[in-house]
Copies of this chain bind each other. A is one copy, B any other.
Amino acid sequence: MGWMTDERGLEKTEANYVALTPLSHLRRAAQVFANRTAVVYGAHRVSYSEYYSRCTRLASALSKMNITPGDVVATLIPNLPAQAEAHFGVPASGAVLNTINTRLDVATVAYIFDHGEAKIVLVDTQFIDLAEAASAQMDGPAPVIIEVADTAHGWSKTNNHIEYEDLLANGDPKFDWIMPSDEWESISLNYTSGTTGLPKGVVSHHRGSYLMTMGTVISWQMQLYPIYLAIVPLFHCNGWNHTWMMPLLGGTVVCCRDIAAKPIYDAIADEGVTHFGGAPIVLNLIVNAEEADRRQFNHIVQVFTAGAPPAPATLSKIGELGFNITQVYGLTETYGHVTECVWRSSDWDSLEQNEKAAIKARQGVAFPMMEHITVFDSEMAQVPMDATSQGEIMVRGNSVMKGYLKNAEATAEAFVGGYFHSGDIAVQHPDGYIQISDRAKDIIISGGENISSVEVEGVLMGHPDVNLAAVVAKPDDKWGEVPCAFIELKPGTAPTEADLITFSRQTLAGFKTPKQVVFQELPKTSTGKIQKFQLRQIAKLI
């Protein structure tokens, strides 16, 4: 408590205290990087000066539609310029941004509209039907729909709603942004995907988003003028806050409507993409791309991957293609990534490729803006750092949510003991690096032994014919549970169940080896996470 004996006259003033908010980054960039390209999408190429002006018009237009500070404005848009603009224009009107997952069903969107109380929703033409149907199912008043017509991509506007560009034309480019006066004010509302039960509304504050952007530049070792490909959906933890970060560096956001190998390679070769984030499934797309979809490039692309530990085999292969993969870890409740596998070059550069890959599969250590991230046992005591003792990942720091909207009970439960309880089960290596062994609910308990589904999946992913693997518990009369594997094969391959069981057994203990192997396409969330609860249902029935 560094209060000196006489602190008279040393209070906060306008000169020395400004509420932290990522909005400041774009205001600065409009001056410092005025003529640099801020956002690219096909023929749409805007400078920071224009980007700032468009966001200002959006804020003004929302205000003219009677949006007042604290109101919620929602979006149902892919990673297009309007979605990036909403990240600045909506908070600049004082409102809270609620980006909604475009892959959700009508009932869930209706629930989110009702629960979040959105006054306005910006909707891409492709999802107008979804927004209209959800509005019709609501209990409360429906949000006003603004249509974002991606005409360049072949979507004609319906003419049933105000169109986004007309809205901007009606906005005042001189509108004075409504900045937070308290950095704890809310900036965004993101609903968890909710594999069970109703989705929860995660509320984030301006302070956390600001610090997330500062910490990410440092962690990702970013320098001026990166070219960022928007693969992580902006409706997923606001794209890990990357859109809010880019103005710090005068960087360019390259938008991407659909995620596939060809547009990714094209963006790297044609736009010079230097950075992107994506789930391991995106890495698989790149590694397994058809020859015709690949492009040559001469630089190293920096990739943050998260959502599930990538298989060592994938990591080895993608490195040879010119991508440097860094494993990060986080949740919607932590604004996205809050741990990273910081690379210890002097210790690890000389390791064999498979040893490197094994290390890169770790989730690592706390980001610079976080205070303490570790693994605790059920008594909230530090687990031994022996790479074996399991516990739950606990998170303390400034990039942790305010809490769940209208759910003080769930919030209090998540924050018991002064840490956010992640629900993820992990070990810590002797150097402190965290490695997830499983989601709490994904652990398989067979004959009293814990089996990490992640470990079994890693082995199966090493088989040359396997594209994706997911392992879940299957009820068993004798053992309680046994591992059951679901496999997505690469095109043109056809191994048998016995082939894969034999392959696994070469590495795994008998009790860890899958007892059954099912070949099928895996069900995934919009962010590429495999929906294991669906596989568990199947495993019970077969």
Contacts and interface: CB of A to CB of B under 8 A. Distances in A.
Interface of A: 1-18, 20, 24-25, 28, 31-32, 34-36, 69-70, 72, 91, 94-96, 117, 178, 180-182, 184-187, 189, 203, 206, 208, 211, 214-215, 217-218, 221, 223-225, 248-249, 342-343, 345-347, 365-366, 368-371, 395-398, 400-409, 411-412, 414-415, 418-420, 431-432
A10 B403 contact: yes
Contact of A18 (B7, B371, B415): B371
Contacts of A369: 214
A190 to B, nearest CB: 13
A69 B415 CA distance: 29
A347 B250 CA distance: 14
Contacts of A186: 2-4, 7, 10
A420 B218 contact: no
Contacts of A248: 218, 368
B365 A31 contact: yes
Nearest to A30: B432
Nearest to A400: B16
A412 B13 CA distance: 10
Given A31-B365, A396-B18, A398-B18, A403 B185 contact: no
Contacts of A412: 9
A223 to B, nearest CB: 4
A415 B2 contact: no
A411 B10 contact: yes
Closest 10 CB pairs of A and B: A9-B408, A14-B418, A16-B400, A2-B185, A1-B69, A10-B402, A221-B223, A15-B415, A214-B214, A18-B371
Contact of A368 (B18, B25, B31): B25
Nearest to A68: B1
Contact of A187 (B2, B10, B185, B343): B2
Nearest to A369: B214
Given A221-B224, A225-B345, A70 B4 contact: yes
A365 to B, nearest CB: 5
A296 B406 CA distance: 65
Contacts of A91: 2
B185 A432 contact: no
Nearest to A95: B2
A18 B178 contact: no
Contacts of A218: 214, 217-218, 248-249
Nearest to A412: B9
A395 B3 contact: no
Nearest to A396: B15
A53 B261 CA distance: 50
Contacts of A11: 402
A346 B25 CA distance: 21
A70 B225 contact: no
How many copies of this chain sit in the oligomeric assembly? 2
Contact of A396 (B4, B14, B32): B14
Nearest to A91: B2
B1 A94 contact: yes
Contacts of A34: 431-432
A3 B414 CA distance: 22
A420 B225 contact: no
Contacts of A420: 15-16
Contact of A32 (B9, B418, B432): B432
A420 B342 CA distance: 39
Contacts of A2: 69-70, 91, 94-96, 180, 185-187, 206
Given A1-B180, A223-B221, A403-B9, A16 B214 contact: no
Most buried by B among A218, A223, A409, A431: A218
Most buried by B among A16, A248, A369: A16
A6 B365 contact: no
Contacts of A31: 365-366, 432
Contacts of A178: 1
Nearest to A409: B9
A370 B28 CA distance: 9
A355 to B, nearest CB: 18
B402 A185 contact: no
Given A10-B411, A70-B2, A368-B28, A419 B15 contact: yes
A358 to B, nearest CB: 19
A419 B13 CA distance: 9
Nearest to A178: B1
B405 A4 contact: yes
A317 to B, nearest CB: 25
A9 B180 CA distance: 20
Contacts of A15: 395-396, 400, 414-415, 418-420
A432 B420 CA distance: 43
A408 B8 contact: yes
B1 A342 contact: no
